[in-house]
Structures are given as C-alpha cells and as structure tokens.
A and B are shown apart, each in its own frame.
Chain A
Amino acid sequence: MPLLSLLSTARDLYTLSINIFFPRRNEWLLEWLVQRLKEDEGESGRQARTAKECWDFLRELLQAVEPVAVAGTLTRHGIVPLVAKMMGEAKEMTGETTEEVSELLDGMAAVLVLLRGIARSEASITASMRSTPEVCAGTLGTFLEVYGILLGREVRVEQPWIDAVVDLWKGSIWGNADSKKVRSLLRLRGAKVS
C-alpha cells in the first residue's frame, strides 16, 4: 500500500488513538517510516517523500524516540540517501509548484536541525548523517539548482535550508582522507608562498 495512505493510521498509532498494546511503538514507527521513505519506489514513493506531512511526522517521531534508538535506525537506513532522493524530486516539482517545495524544504531542514541537536547527546548520530561525497555533492548541487529556480520566481529561500544542505556536504568530507591531504597541501603551499 502507498505510504501516504498508511500515514493517518500510523499517526493514530503514534497518538494512541488506536488502543492496542504495542511495546516500543514509536521506535517501530520511526524504523518503518524511514525505511519506507528510503525504499519506496515509483510514484507512491515520490509522493511520500515530497509530502510535508511525512517530514513533520518524522520530526515528531525523532523527538519522541530515545537518541540511542534514533541512532540505531539511522545507522541501518541512513538519512542522507533519503534527503538526496527528496531533493531530486523537489527539483522536478518546481515546474508545478514552488509553495509545496518551500514547505518540503522547511520540513527537511527541521528534521536535519533536530538530528544535529540530538547528535550532541548521541555521537553515533553524527556518523549516520554522513554519506559519500558523491551523494552529498549531488544533493548540494540539486539544492543549488532548486535555490536558483525559487529565486527566479521570487520565493524566499530560508537560511536553515541552506545550512542543512551545506552541513550535509561538510559532514561528508570531514575526516575524509583526501580532504586531509588537500588541507595539508594548502598549509604547505601557504608556507611556501609566505
């Protein structure tokens, strides 16, 4: 079944509107949502990833679940590939609507900001927010294209959107062996020049 059609049921479960015994309910919901968002293909997957309510629900679940459990889920599924997919789909959406794209980027940024906050108490989350430079560069590039399109249509671009995507890229190269090499060479060249 399409993820979006199950979302209201999932929400009922989360808000205890459905009265059933369900141990570690929120952990399960988080795992289910992240996995479905990441893995659902086709039109239903695209619709789910580009729906603000999915990102809002994800944020609520992240707040409700213990950091350790969040880290486990993100280690298994990762968040960056999900953001990367969403960004590509958001770019396609700009042809039809800019308002929904803005809302979507708001939702995405809120999730990433929250994760950065949780990462302060659970270090392994930082690691799970990293991905390969290829994926993060692709996400950043696509975001810059979306930014350009939104600017062209006089839509306000919010600072948290920028910070969220730039941080993803920085996270991908932080500690990277090549990046270290570049920095050491920069220092070497700087010393030579001065």
Chain B
Amino acid sequence: MIWSEKCLRPATTLLMDPNADSALKKVLESMIAEYVFSPEILYPTTSTQKQAAAEPSTQDLIPLLAPLREEDTSMSGTSELVNIPYLPLLFRISIDSQSTKRCKADMSVVNILFTALLSVSPILDLRSEVLGVSAAGGDIVALLLQVLTKTGTALPSTTLSRIITKFANLTSQDPNQVRWLLIREILTIDFDSFLHPSVASLTSDLFSALSRATPSELVSNVLELVVDGFVKARDILKFVDQWTKRLKSGSEEDVWRGDALARVFAAKVESSLTSPQILKTVNRLREEQQWVILDAVLRGLRREDTETQLLATGVLEAVVEAARKDAAEWRAWRLLVRIGDIKPELLVPAIEDAVWLLRADNRWKEAVFASEVLMRVLDRTDDEDALEGVNMVVDMAAEALEKLQGWDGTIATVDDQNFGLAVAMAVTGGYLSVLEEIDRNHRNKFVDSLFQAALITQDSSASTVNARQICQAMVGKPEIYEYPAVKGIGVLASVNSKPFNDRIQTQYYLASLQASLHFLQLQKIC
C-alpha cells in the first residue's frame, strides 16, 4: 500500500517514457508486480480463511490503484477526457506477473485485473452504468484487449458483453462514434461475443452498424473477422443471408458492395462450402439477382471439380442468361467477365446485349464490362459479332480519348470522357491480342488516339490514371512483340510523334531489343 501510494504514479509515468533507463524500467515493472499485483492482493483472505481457498477479488487491488484514479469527469459532463495511456502497460505487467512458462494467467484473475484497472477512470469503470460515449475511452479499452491477444489470455464472455454494451456505441447513428478498433479486438478474442445465436440482437446491431460505416481498413478488418466467425461456426450461408438482406437496402458506397468484403469472402468460400452447396448457393443468388455476392463466390472458385460441376449442371449458363438481361446493373456485367475466365464461350449469347449497351446512352459503367465481355469472346473464339462489337468498342474508346480528362481509375467515375482510358487499360491488361484481330482502320484509330492522348497528357498525381502511363505499360509488355500489327503501329506512333516522351521511346526500343534477343535465343534452342 505504501509503495503504491508513493511510487505507482511516477513509476507508470517513467515506464511510458521511451527515454527512461531500461534497467530501471525492469526494476519498476518487478516492483509493480510485487507490490500491486501480488497473489496476496489478488486473493484476499479473511482471518479464518486459508490462502488456498481464497477466490480472486478486486477488494484489495482497487484501493492500491487509487493513486492512478482520475477526477470524476463523467459527473461534470466532460467525459471526453481520458488520459491514461499506461493502462495497457499495467495490464501486461499484471498478466505477466500471474503467468508462468507452463501456465497462462487464469481467466478469473485476468477479469479481476481488467476490472480493477478500468476502475481508475470513472468513464471506463465497468461497474458504472454510465455509457462510454468517449471515443478515447473505447479505444483505450481496445488497447487493453490487444494485451489479451498478445499474452494469449482471455476474459469471460460476460465481461466482453459488458464491454460491448458500454463502449462499442454500436447503435449510434453517427458512424464516427462506433468503436471499430474495440469491435475488432473483441471479435479477435471471441467472435461468439457478437455472433453467437444467443446474442442475435447484438449480431443484428453489428450488421446495422456495418451498413452505416464508412469503408476503411479497420472496417475491412472487422468484416474479415465477421466472415471468419461465420466460417468457424460452419455457418457461412447465414452470413450470405445477412449480406443479401443488407444489399437490398443501403447505398452504393456501403461496405456490403465494396471490393474489400468480396475479396475476404472469396478467399473463404471454397474452403467453407462443398461443391453441391456452392451450386445451390449460386442458383439461389442468381434467382435473387445478387450479383455482388455471386461475383464474390465466383471470384473464390479454385477447384476444378467445382467449375466442372457448375458447367455440367448448366448453372453458369443460367447465370449468364440472367445477368445479360440485367442491363441496369454494371455488377452483372462484371460477373459476366468473371464467368468469361472460366469459359468464354458461355458469353456468346451476351454479345448482342453488350452491343446494345454500348449503343445506349449514359451506360458507361456497364459499357466498360460489356466491352470486356466482347474482347474476352473475341480473344477465345472467331465470333464475327464479337469482332464487330470490339471494332465498335475501340472506335468509341478512340473518340473518348480525344476529349480525355483525368480518371481516378475507379469504375464509379467512368463516363464518356474517360471511357477510352478504361478500355485502354483493359486492352493493355489482357487483350492486346484482340487489337491484332480487329480491322486495321479501327486499330490505327485507337492506337493513334491513345498515343496522341499520351502526348498531350500533363504530369499529374500518381493516383490519377493517364494515357502516358498506359502507353508506357503497353510498350513495356513483352507480349506486344508477338503481335506484329500492334508493334508496327506502336513504332510509327512513337516515331511520328517527335516531341513524344523520351522515356517511352527509350523504353520501347530497349524492350524491342530485349524481345529480339529473346526471339533469337528461342530460335537457337529450337
């Protein structure tokens, strides 16, 4: 008690100072462990009780931590003030003091330590009924929970539930008030705190809060843990149900439609579902026209037998039929591109719809993926309609390149002015071969426009896509030398454009030299 009263506060201050002597820090840590978190204090006994029979309690510990106690700001209404950054450090010291090499600290003791440490702040005190609207408070509790993860210890589910109720601000209508860091830590420790069937209202609150959330790395982490939780509970289809429900409302920018969730889900889908389950799910999602989830499911398919079954049972064909008719949804067309990765021939029926979309007014997002569908088909078949369609695509792109503006590279901002860049990116990324196949006039017009656009491009920020970057990427690709027509047109364009960027020319000729050497080597081997 004496040590705590006189030394605890200055000791914790010094422990937080990065410049303090490390040997002194070790001494102070051992003193704190011995005089504040000793077994005698954590297991108080009565005069008639034996030590071995004692239960852990905060009875003696809370008075020892009194020197750290803050003023009761919650009473004055200024609850934002929570300045106790040393709590996680003290929590770590206390847990270490109760752990041995063989045995981690007992959950009941960790609970006592956690409760006692939070008692130093009226805002954080778990025993108080005041809700923790303080942002800093919730984040400090999250840091304490990180200590649990690092030390491999745990808290009882009742305490975790109490923390959620008190600090997470899940039901707040202001997305900035929801403590995602805290939610992430709780999900890491025990996803059942949020996702167990017995806490259905909490699960619902979490999904509602996610619907209101602004997409960020932290929110993506939470989404990943939520998906993980459902995977561990062998119930990923329940997550699909929740996802479907959320997609029926909400905004275009919400997390349910974002790429982050699709990526996370795609990584888990095949390991969590059997092939028949995948088939059934794909069919159901097709009927409900849930293109976002379907896209994520197809994105995650890696097993050959699943793809074979999807093809053999006609499920993918049915998806193409449904998606191509949904002209109002660009995600349906993105899904078609995905199906083209599995079997491009399936997209042949969509050619007519793709051409229709290209001719329609203000359907630029859909037109980008429709263009890709056409290029995918032409790349793998000799379909005449696809060829005509791609001729049209490159013409439209060439016209758009002439009135080019900057583009941030996201599908959400595609319009008549940056459509050309979007197509050029797709061509450079995977369809150089279609340039070789299309009609010469269309090809020349497209490549000329692209190089001209590169010529007049002003230097801009790295986050903006421009024609110069695309040209540099195009001439840097070794495949370009496999396509004589494209290569020739590239040379002409770069030579004719005298003031053209020197770097492109240099890069082009160096790459050309490399390709020639490579070609000679191949000849030699053969």
Q: Which A residues fall within an 8 A CB radius of B?
A: 133-134, 137-138, 140-142, 144-145, 147-148, 151, 157, 159, 162, 166, 169, 181-182, 185-186, 188-190, 192-194
Q: Tell me the residues in window 283-307 of chain B with beta carbons closer than 8 Å to chain A beta carbons.
A: none
Q: What CA separation (Å) do A60 and B43 show in the bound complex?
A: 50
Instruction: Knowing A133-B2, A144-B14 are in contact, say whether A186-B20 is a contact too (CB < 8 A).
Output: no
Distance in Å: Cβ of A1 to nearest Cβ of chain B? 35
Residues of A within 8 A of B52 (CB): 188, 192
Interface of B is mostly: helix
Pair B7/A182 contact, Cβ less than 8 Å: no
Total count of chain B residues near the partner, CB < 8 A: 28
Q: Tell me the residues in window 33-92 of chain B with beta carbons closer than 8 Å to chain A beta carbons.
A: 34, 38-40, 43, 51-52
Instruction: Knowing A151-B20, A159-B21, A193-B100 are in contact, say whether A145-B38 is a contact too (CB < 8 A).
Output: no
Name A185's contact: one of B5, B20, B27, B38 (CB within 8 Å).
B38
Q: In chain B, what residue has the closest Cβ to A137?
A: B6
Distance in Å: Cβ of A167 to nearest Cβ of chain B? 11
Residues of B within 8 A of A169 (CB): 3
Pair B17/A148 contact, Cβ less than 8 Å: yes
Name A193's contact: one of B2, B14, B21, B103 (CB within 8 Å).
B103
Q: Does B107 make an interface contact (CB < 8 A)?
A: no
Pair A157/B21 contact, Cβ less than 8 Å: yes
Residues of B within 8 A of A190 (CB): 100
Pair B13/A148 contact, Cβ less than 8 Å: yes
Pair A159/B23 contact, Cβ less than 8 Å: yes
Pair B14/A148 contact, Cβ less than 8 Å: yes
Pair B10/A141 contact, Cβ less than 8 Å: yes
Residues of B within 8 A of A151 (CB): 14, 17, 19-20
Q: What CA separation (Å) do A192 and B43 show in the bound complex?
A: 13
Q: Which B residues fall within an 8 A CB radius of A?
A: 2-3, 5-7, 9-11, 13-14, 17, 19-21, 23-24, 27-28, 34, 38-40, 43, 51-52, 100, 102-103
Instruction: Knowing A166-B27, A182-B38 are in contact, say whether A140-B21 is a contact too (CB < 8 A).
Output: no
Pair B21/A186 contact, Cβ less than 8 Å: no
Instruction: Knowing A144-B7, A144-B10, A182-B40 are in contact, say whether A162-B21 is a contact too (CB < 8 A).
Output: yes
Q: What CA separation (Å) do A187 and B2 show in the bound complex?
A: 22
Residues of A within 8 A of B13 (CB): 144, 148
Distance in Å: Cβ of A87 to nearest Cβ of chain B? 11
Distance in Å: Cβ of B43 to nearest Cβ of chain A? 7
Residues of B within 8 A of A193 (CB): 100, 103
Name A194's contact: one of B2, B17, B40, B103 (CB within 8 Å).
B103
Q: In chain A, what residue has the closest Cβ to B67?
A: A141
Pair A144/B11 contact, Cβ less than 8 Å: yes
Q: What CA separation (Å) do A159 and B27 show in the bound complex?
A: 12
Q: What CA separation (Å) do A148 and B13 show in the bound complex?
A: 8
Q: What CA separation (Å) do A6 and B445 show in the bound complex?
A: 104
Q: In chain A, what residue has the closest Cβ to B102?
A: A194
Pair A186/B39 contact, Cβ less than 8 Å: yes
Residues of B within 8 A of A145 (CB): 10
Distance in Å: Cβ of B413 to nearest Cβ of chain A? 50
* The 7 A-B residue pairs with the shortest CB-CB distance in the complex, in nearest-first order: A141-B6, A144-B10, A189-B39, A137-B6, A141-B7, A185-B40, A145-B10
Name B40's contact: one of A133, A147, A166, A181 (CB within 8 Å).
A181
Residues of B within 8 A of A157 (CB): 21
Distance in Å: Cβ of B185 to nearest Cβ of chain A? 26
Distance in Å: Cβ of B49 to nearest Cβ of chain A? 13
